[in-house]
Amino acid sequence: MIVLGVDPGATVTGYGVVAAGGAPAALIECGAIRPRAGGPLAERLLEIFQGLTEVIDRVRPDVVCVEGVFYGRNARTTVILGHARGAVLLAAAARTIPVVEYPPAEVKSLIVGTGVASKEQVAFMVQKHLSLADVPEPEDAADGVAVALCHVFHDAVDRRTGGVGRKHG
């Protein structure tokens, strides 16, 4: 199974591609899509869509996993983040790839052991889980890898338990 994890953002959208099944999970690639700073929102969203579509076409994931919306104090930022998530969802839908969403606290809890982990802690544990020589960079890419690993861990539990005790949707 090839999992594409995405940490959406209007300024930086991080992604990570992880192969899982049979052997320990392995990082295929990770990176960040950086739309032109200061450009109109619609153009930045198009750049996110196009960049992610290129990744999807290159790695052919079985599933796209997206970090859910984080409700911050700034409503405008939350709305813009929602738009970036929409570009990610559209890229997956355009290639008929199923999408699974995970709340940020769940990703952090599964990867680090606490739902309030820092970006640095997440990156460090991603490095450890995948036995990487270095922490994935930029941080947004490490977050994308963490989202992919979250799905890999859930999938492993589901295979062992038949999905008993876990909500799907």
The annotation status of 67 as a binding-site residue, yes or no, is yes
Among this protein's residues, is 67 annotated catalytic? yes
The annotation status of 7 as a binding-site residue, yes or no, is yes
The annotation status of 47 as a binding-site residue, yes or no, is no
Among this protein's residues, is 158 annotated catalytic? no
DSSP 36: P
In degrees rounded to 5, what are phi and psi of residue 148? -60, -45
Among this protein's residues, is 134 annotated catalytic? no
DSSP secondary structure of 95-116: TT--EEEE-HHHHHHHHHSSTT
Which of the residues 67, 139, 143, 155 is marked catalytic? 67
- Dihedral, CA atoms, 140, 54, 99, 29, nearest 10 degrees? -50
Which of the residues 139, 140, 143, 155 is marked catalytic? 140
Active site residues: 7, 67, 140
Binding site membership: which residues?
A: 7, 67, 140
Binding site membership for Mg(2+): which residues?
A: 7, 67, 140
